[in-house]
Amino acid sequence: MGSSDSQQQIDSFRKQILEAAKTKTPLSIEGGGTKTWYGNNNQFAKLSTKNYSGILDYQPEELVITACAGTPLREIEQVLAEKNQMLAFEPPHFGEQATLGGAIAAGLAGPARISVGNLRDFVLGARIMDGKGQDLSFGGKVMKNVAGYDVSRLMPGSLGTLALILEASVKVLPKPAASSSIRCQITQAAALQSLNKSAGQPLPLSASCWIGANQADSFGELTIRMAGAEAAVYAAKVSLCSSLNAKELDSQEAETFWTQLREQQLSAFINLQADETLYRLALPAACGPLDLGNVGNISSEIILEWHGQERWIKGPSDDATFAALKQLANAHGGHAMRFRQGAKVNPANQRFTLLSEQTHSQALEPIQARLRASFDPSGVFATNRLP
């Protein structure tokens, strides 16, 4: 994109934002439109970042890529792959057209999150436009930067409710020299024990997934990925294969599995019935198998990622089921959300756990409200997509 085109785009964003500010009507920001289903329902006038696309700066030796919000994720990943680098947090695409801006606004990370950190950890800087049409830059392109509050890191997961992301600088990492995935049959309780124990050892654990029926003693399928130096991966593979009685997957099969897990294309995810909801539970590492006995008519199958810190369950969509899951997660120090809803489920449903629903986060609610009011006094981004 030429710089005059680029300025035209910025000007048109500003125009749209200032108009919305004048009429006090919110805008729904959209990139490639692959995650419109994510978060609370918001169907306001669209602000599209799709045409604000292009990689602005990429120096492999700096481990940073800077791109416009509308740049397709696959373009970024391809450019990085040519230099043997990657977005280590493995953002899910959920569609061909997924963009960098959308990935950051959603804040989602894939299987490797447990070993490398979340998307927010990798955001180094952002150029944003606030609700007053101000073009602002925070952070930068360097890893170490403590000048001012880390405002660019408020953008990940904000779902367009704070400001418009124009451009972002993201830390990238070299692809690991080697990787290997192994699989075994094991109970959920034993899998959680083994994963947490291994994570406390200097082993190159990269990701894990357990799929099976949600009872402490039912066997399920555990897949573990290791990534790092050749020698370290080899040694860990030998040791874990023997202690878990596991077998190594061939590399193609492994790659397909982790991609399908990231994109929620595994059989356990698909076939969401029109009246069902896919719930996501985020839990502390200490949480063992959940007792879902009181949650009602929940699916027996459960998927565990991130060594059990992220769990996926399908179930009925009613408020009582969601309330029971929230309560269960909260009792373990975690939280729950309606991640995906079937076609016939009420789109107006609240998808998230609210700050006011957890005692320790109640006091954050007014802070968040004031913060939003300061970036966006006229409510241009007040879609409530993230409450």
Partner 1 sequence: MVAMNMVAPPPDLAIISALQTKLVNALRPILPEDGLLWEPEDTIPYECDGLAAYRRMPLAVALPETEAQVSEILKICHAMTIPVVPRGSGTGLSGGAMPIAQGLVLSLAKLKKIVSIDPFTRTAVVQPGVRNLAISEAVAHLGLYYAPDPSSQIACSIGGNVNENSGGVHCLKYGLTLQNVLRVRAVLMNGEIVEFGGLAPDAPGLDLMSVMIGSEGMLAVVTEVTVKLVPKPKLARVIMASFDDIEKGGNAVAAIIAAGIIPAGLEMMDKATTRAVEEFVHAGYDLDAEAILLCESDGTPEEVAEEIERMTEVLKKSGASGIQISRDESERLKFWSGRKNAFPAAGRLAADYYCMDGTIPRRHIATLLKRIQGMEKKYGLGCLNVFHAGDGNMHPLILFNGADQDEWHRAEDFGSEILEACVELGGTITGEHGVGIEKINTMCIQFGEGERESFWGVKSAFDPDKLLNPDKAIPTLNRCAEYGRMRVSKGILPHPELERF
Closer of 250 and 370 to partner 1 (Cβ): 370
Distance of alpha carbon 146 from alpha carbon 150, whole angstroms? 8
Closer of 72 and 125 to partner 1 (Cβ): 125
Distance of alpha carbon 18 from alpha carbon 261, whole angstroms? 41
73: enclosing H helix or E strand: helix 73-82
Question: Are the beta carbons of 172 and 55 closer than 8 angstroms?
Answer: no
Q: Measured from the CB of residue 60, what is the shortest distance to partner 1 in angstroms?
A: 5
Q: Measured from the CB of residue 9, what is the shortest distance to partner 1 in angstroms?
A: 19
139: enclosing H helix or E strand: strand 135-139
Closer of 43 and 144 to partner 1 (Cβ): 144
- Amino acid identity of residue 29, one-letter, is I
Q: Measured from the CB of residue 207, what is the shortest distance to partner 1 in angstroms?
A: 14
Closer of 1 and 285 to partner 1 (Cβ): 285
- Amino acid identity of residue 20, one-letter, is A
Distance of alpha carbon 318 from alpha carbon 316, whole angstroms? 6
CB atoms within 10 A of CB 280: 21
360 has which bridge partners? Answer: none
Q: Measured from the CB of residue 129, what is the shortest distance to partner 1 in angstroms?
A: 10
Closer of 68 and 172 to partner 1 (Cβ): 172
Q: Which of 8, 133, 154, 6 is nearest to 69 (CA)?
A: 6
Closer of 169 and 321 to partner 1 (Cβ): 169
Q: Measured from the CB of residue 343, what is the shortest distance to partner 1 in angstroms?
A: 26
Q: Measured from the CB of residue 43, what is the shortest distance to partner 1 in angstroms?
A: 22
Question: Are the beta carbons of 175 and 86 closer than 8 angstroms?
Answer: yes
Q: Are strands 27-30 and 45-48 parallel, antiparallel or unpaired?
A: parallel
Whose tokens are 């085109």? That residue is 5
Closer of 48 and 189 to partner 1 (Cβ): 189
Q: Measured from the CB of residue 144, what is the shortest distance to partner 1 in angstroms?
A: 4
